């Protein structure tokens, strides 16, 4: 009985890992017991368990909103007039904000996605969003549509590494509408060219009707993602900052009051601009560097809901 036996060579490994992990985590067995059970060596059992964890087969959730975080959520909602706030416990002093908020955000997205009635969901890009989507469980969302709010082609012509629509669709089976054009046009002419492309037009239209919009936030420090990823030059970054740039959502740059700048860069973004004071916008962001950008976005009502981590929430509230 121990092992299923005649599996297909390739998948069997993964299966074994899952089974070992199941015995370990759910069954609460010791590794040598598992080894015995499955007819393998202790080391192999250990490796399987480790591998399952490694491969992200294991999903741990804490079923208890830590009081302090609940408190922060309430404060955020009141202070910034949010529709919803979710605060993940931080992972200590210098712990990674993204790592902390990722599981919480992933759970929230799963919840969002678990509805039966079809939804249209707009998605931004970025490291944070990507990490979150990677952490989602596979839920069945074949009846939903996910549409990219922003081009997915980097300046060098490569597909953006932080594109999430595809990954999202992978996990959920949702119909997906990437926006396969550059993030930014080089001039007004190119912009109208891109925008006139049928698939871009339909993606943009779909995005406008999205019932939920999920975005990250970009900061404007020296390592602003727009700059680091090569979308804008150092000079353009400086110019944006001179114009009062505080942060950026889907490439659209806004000032410290959360008002979109009237700046050349902003006029060349091919994607859609997240509307001010829409109920639909959910922002997932955290970390020291993004506080300024986040605060501005909140002030301007650019986002309706916020998922962040404890330290960031504290920073946002302490001022």
Partner DNA sequence: TCATCAACTGGGCTTTTGCTCAATCGCGCT
Partner DNA sequence: AGCGCGATTGAGCAAAAGCCCAGTTGATGA
Chain residues binding DNA by CB under 7 A are: 13, 24, 30-32, 40-44, 46-47, 49-50
**Could you tell me the two tokens for 135?**
């952490």
Q: Which residue has the tokens 């002419």?
A: 189
Which residue, 211, 291, 303, 168, is CA-closest to 249?
303
Using the minimum distance from each CB to DNA, give the nearer residue, 32 or 288: 32
**Could you tell me the two tokens for 29?**
């067995």
Q: Which residue has the tokens 């919840």?
A: 111
Pick the binder of a copy of itself from 30, 41, 59, 199 (CB under 8 A): 59
Q: 18 near 50, Cβ under 8 Å? A: no
Residues 6+ positions from 268 with CB-CB distance below 8 Å: 184, 185, 186, 187, 188, 191
Q: Which residue has the tokens 């902003």?
A: 266
Q: 168 near 133, Cβ under 8 Å? A: yes
CB of 11 to a copy of itself, least distance (A): 6
Q: What is the distance between the alpha carbons of residues 18 and 14, in angstroms, rounded to a whole number?
A: 6
153: DSSP letter: B
Under the binding rule (CB under 8 A), the answer on residue 267 touching a copy of itself is: no
Q: 237 near 228, Cβ under 8 Å? A: no
Under the binding rule (CB under 8 A), the answer on residue 114 touching a copy of itself is: yes
Using the minimum distance from each CB to DNA, give the nearer residue, 43 or 208: 43
CB of 53 to DNA, least distance (A): 7
Pick the binder of a copy of itself from 26, 156, 157, 158 (CB under 8 A): 26
**Using CB distances below 5 to 8 A depending on partner kind, what does residue 50 bind out of a copy of itself, DNA, none?**
DNA
Using the minimum distance from each CB to DNA, give the nearer residue, 21 or 76: 21
**Using CB distances below 5 to 8 A depending on partner kind, what does residue 115 bind out of DNA, a copy of itself, none?**
a copy of itself
Pick the binder of a copy of itself from 30, 79, 111, 201 (CB under 8 A): 111
CB of 26 to a copy of itself, least distance (A): 6
Q: What is the distance between the alpha carbons of residues 252 and 75, in angstroms, rounded to a whole number?
A: 28
**Which residues are at the interface with a copy of itself (CB under 8 A)?**
1, 4, 7-8, 11-12, 14-15, 17-19, 21-23, 25-27, 29, 33-34, 37, 52, 56-68, 71, 89, 91-93, 95, 99-100, 103, 111, 114-117, 137-138, 311
């Amino acid at each position: 009985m121990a092992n299923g036996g005649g599996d297909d060579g390739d998948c069997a490994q993964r299966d074994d890992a899952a089974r070992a992990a199941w015995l370990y985590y759910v069954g609460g067995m010791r590794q040598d017991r598992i080894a015995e059970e499955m007819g393998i060596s202790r080391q192999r059992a250990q490796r399987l368990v480790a591998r399952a964890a490694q491969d992200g087969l294991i999903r741990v959730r804490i079923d208890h909103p830590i009081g302090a975080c609940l408190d922060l959520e309430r404060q955020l909602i009141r202070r910034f007039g949010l529709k919803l706030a979710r605060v993940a416990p931080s992972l200590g002093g210098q712990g990674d904000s993204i790592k902390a908020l990722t599981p919480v955000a992933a759970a929230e997205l799963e919840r969002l996605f678990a509805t039966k009635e079809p939804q249209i969901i707009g998605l931004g890009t970025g490291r944070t969003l990507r990490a979150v989507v990677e952490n989602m469980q596979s839920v069945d969302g074949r009846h939903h549509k996910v549409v990219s709010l922003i081009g997915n082609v980097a300046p060098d012509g490569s597909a953006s590494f932080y594109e999430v629509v595809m990954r999202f669709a992978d996990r959920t089976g949702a119909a997906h509408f990437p926006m396969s054009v550059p993030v930014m046009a080089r001039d007004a002419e190119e912009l109208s060219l891109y925008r006139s492309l049928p698939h871009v037009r339909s993606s943009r239209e779909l995005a406008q009707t999205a019932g939920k919009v999920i975005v990250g936030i970009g900061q404007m420090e020296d390592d602003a993602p727009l700059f680091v990823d090569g979308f804008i030059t150092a000079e353009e970054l400086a110019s944006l900052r001179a114009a009062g740039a505080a942060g950026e959502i889907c490439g659209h740059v806004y000032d410290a009051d959360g008002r979109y700048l009237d700046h050349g860069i902003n006029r060349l973004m091919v994607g859609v601009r997240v509307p001010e004071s829409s109920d639909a916008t959910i922002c997932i962001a955290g970390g020291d560097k993004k506080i300024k950008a986040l605060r501005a976005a909140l002030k301007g009502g650019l986002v309706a809901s916020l998922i962040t981590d404890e330290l960031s929430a504290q920073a946002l509230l302490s001022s």
